[in-house]
A and B are shown apart, each in its own frame.
Chain A
């Protein structure tokens, strides 16, 4: 069982190596002549006006929260979906109740305007 996952682990390590190797090679083979203008953050040729870590629209935060809720629902659906044929109509109806509750929440957030971007 667990030895099936050994190649997966090895693959992740190889994936990291495939990423690190070009970065190291690029550093070794490319030129390296930094100056203060080159190293300043790009802002259409101006000096940077203020720090880039500024306030941003709260909607991004809301999207992230809604994502967590729905992603959890999907995580609940995964094991149910795999065994639906075995648990039959009872399993189907109980998941229907769960999905109905989820839909009520979804309609509520829609009506509240949480999904609006203008």
Chain B
């Protein structure tokens, strides 16, 4: 397999010269983006099926066997719907906002390692890039709400923006703890820092357990998922920031939300659950390719997202802000000092 790839690369180099590198990179990007879009489509089906089973009903089962063609049907339906641009809206920004929401959700994948050395760009400041890209997502939402020129969209965008920036702080402090433990911003190095031969005992979720919990809950809040989906609280503000969107504009916000969920699942696997590393470093486990461990961990985290949605009632806005500012930020600040102090002693084993 590796040899085949190398011969391919060599032939391409000889054939196309300087044009080869961009083309080869583009092929790699397609190899990453296509499965992500496929996963997004089937995550919507998985969500409806799992929610269905948890509520003792079958979920979608009409389109294709076991409802397997449902995402395809939904996609085609949305593609054939009219794109309505309200007359009072700011037209350019209204159209640009969904694109701005989707772009960072995809671009952040450039530095995510799927296996040892299996990343598109091996950059030193990987974590910083991820933080920058995930912060950009809020622009899509706030521009959508403002450009719609509709009261519900405007209120939804304000709520959502305040929520996202509040939880970004807790997320940032949790990331600093990971940096402390790993002493590197390169995501590949962060995973390698978790391999000590003890399997899952070496993963950072053990010394940083409170941060793992905070990071994941903040991730749920960042992606506007239940129980923190106040931005689309239908009882008070209709559909929030995407009230005025129809057809593909709406679909892009949907895609961005699900792509962000998968991204959060991937990042929590990489930073706390040992990425591509097997949980027990002995024979049957370490023979399975790292990619499968990574995908397994991501699936588990994604299942948690859906489980949350089926289990918890929606937060009230004041409860949401209290959790972010008065619980998570003090907790992460304290744990940051604890970890830093712990690292000064010989008791730090990671």
A residues contacting B by CB (< 8 A) are 4-8, 10-12, 14-16, 18-20, 22-23, 25-27, 29-34, 36, 38-43, 48, 51-54, 56, 60, 63-64, 66-67, 70-71, 74, 77-78, 81-85, 88-89, 92, 95-96, 99, 102-103, 106, 110, 115-118
Contact = CB atoms under 8 A, between A and B. Distances in A.
Contacts, number: 222
B166 A8 contact: no
Nearest to B316: A117
* Candidate in A26, A74, A83 with the most chain B CB atoms within 10 angstroms: A26
A95 B251 contact: no
Majority secondary structure, A binding face: helix
- With a 10 A CB-CB cut-off, give which of A7, A27, A106, A118 has the most chain B CB atoms: A7
B13 to A, nearest CB: 15
When A and B form their complex, which 7 residue pairs have the shortest distance between CB atoms, in order from nearest? A26-B248, A19-B99, A41-B150, A81-B179, A117-B318, A74-B172, A15-B106
B150 A23 contact: no
Interface stretch (B42-50, B75-83, B195-203, B305-313): B75-83
Contacts of A14: 26, 29-30, 33, 106
A81 B176 contact: yes
B51 interface: no
Interface stretch (B52-60, B121-129, B206-214, B296-304): B121-129
Q: Is the interface of B mostly helix, strand, loop or mixed?
A: helix
A54 B145 CA distance: 13
Interface in B166-215: 166, 168-169, 172-173, 175-177, 179-180, 183-185
Nearest to B238: A42
A58 to B, nearest CB: 12
B79 A29 contact: yes
Nearest to A27: B83
